[in-house]
Amino acid sequence: MERILTRNVGKEGSHTLAVYEASGGYQALRKALGAMTPEAVVEEVKRSGLRGRGGAGFPTGLKWSFMPKDAARPKYLICNADESEPGTFKDRVLIEKDPHLVLEGCLVSAFAMGARAAFVYIRGEYVHGARILERAIEEAYEKGYAGKNVLGSGFDCDLVLHVGAGAYICGEETSLMSSLEGNRGYPRLKPPFPAQAGLWGCPTTINNVETLACVPFIVERGGDWFLSIGKPPKNTGPKLYALSGHVKRPGVYEAPMGLPLRELIQNLGGGMLRDDRPLKAVIPGGSSVPVLTADECDVDLDFDSLAAKGSMLGSAAVIVMDSSTCMVRAIERVAHFYAHESCGQCTPCREGCGWMERVLARIERGEGRQEDLDLLLDVSSHILGHTVCPLGDAAAMPVASFVTKFRHEFQYHIDHKKCMV
């Protein structure tokens, strides 16, 4: 397959404007501003079938169309670079190795929606990436790709980098906006949705880094070209997969949407880390999604195939676990993360996440009780769907799936007060 999103990765100086321009960079912006209307760009993205790469998988063009055409207040675009979920590191590659691709995606998308500014909200721990983006923004302004009268087109758009404070909750779009406004990163109730009342009460669209990086290629090559990659019509285009865990070659791999999971592990990832320890389980979309057993891993990595298996593509962060993995210990660490990162606004999440962590830690220590497994399922069911934002669901779904699919291992911990592996 042709490398598309990662075409510049590996080139010397790939983060610089000179290298980006030499590979055809900013031609999509020139095309959009010189030969297309904002409506035409939106329609091309709709035609492409592009769905959000941040986790939800919502159709990108449709999301853009929610922005009001004639708004009395300024319109804004936010690039969500708060990549904070355990196992997820695909956006980091684009930020550090090809920042101008991300910025061009922001500018073309802002033009399509009539946004006067594009904010890049990056997680606080990405210090190196933030510095690279800061310099890339300076280069874009110097060459007239950003700011007033972009490329002499009459289109004005500022690029603003904002470094977060390392809160996972700020990956949720309304929390992100609260943080950008200078407030605590607290989720907001919807409606109103950001397209109606977002940043500072103005119409706002939030897109993921990888989503925006796809846009220049759609404008340059056409929506039909993008539609021809992957599994049309609903799972299209190139996709970045972050592979980690017990594989020989962990890393970020680009492949068409719908890559078979076993092909990612065996071919791209080089197979299991230790040949004598077979595959036991896979988390296919970051720590927030239900786990798959080894028997469930004959599945394509796309939104609909994984949904049919009872899991999700999420952030496409594939975490591989071999037979040496203690599933109790694994989910106890995941639960600890979500209990720590809960903002505390919603009672089910604030109390439930801590409760699940304490019960799992008790089982892991060999102090589990017979009723603990049903208790974990009961607590998770009372969190699901009862919180302002998805963090509660992100904590509850993996716990429920681990307990349900590996109940015998949890039961062994309780009965024998030790791990079975």
Q: What pLDDT sits at residue 71? A: 82
Domain with CATH 3.40.50.11540 in the chain: 17-228
Q: How far is CA 78 from CA 43, 118, 195, 275, 293, in A?
A: 20, 6, 11, 44, 37
Number of Cβ within a 10 Å radius of residue 67:
23
What's the confidence (pLDDT) of residue 59? 97
- What CATH class is the domain 17-228? alpha beta
Ramachandran angles phi, psi of 393, nearest 5°: -65, -40
What is the CATH code for 327-416?
A: 1.20.1440.230
In tens digits, the chain (421 residues) has pLDDT values of: 799 999 999 999 999 999 999 999 999 999 999 999 999 999 999 999 999 999 889 999 999 999 998 888 999 999 999 999 999 999 999 999 999 999 999 999 999 999 999 999 999 999 999 999 999 999 999 999 999 999 999 999 999 999 998 899 999 999 999 999 999 999 999 999 999 999 999 999 999 999 999 999 999 999 999 999 999 999 999 999 999 999 999 999 999 999 999 999 999 999 999 989 999 999 999 999 999 999 999 999 999 999 999 999 999 999 999 999 999 999 999 999 999 999 999 999 999 999 999 999 999 999 999 999 999 999 999 999 999 999 999 999 999 999 999 999 999 999 999 998 7
CA distance 185 to 397: 23
Residue 136 to residue 16: CA distance in whole angstroms? 7
Boundaries of CATH 3.10.20.600 in the chain? 235-322
Sign of CA dihedral 347, 350, 354, 357: positive
Q: Smallest Cα–Cα separation from 410: which of 331, 311, 303, 322?
A: 331
Paired tokens of 24: 């055809």
Q: Where are the CATH 1.20.1440.230 domain residues in the chain?
A: 327-416
State which amino acid sits at residue 309: K
Name the phi and psi angles at 196, rounded to 5: -95, -45
Architecture of domain 235-322: Roll (3.10)
Say what the pTM is. Answer: 0.95
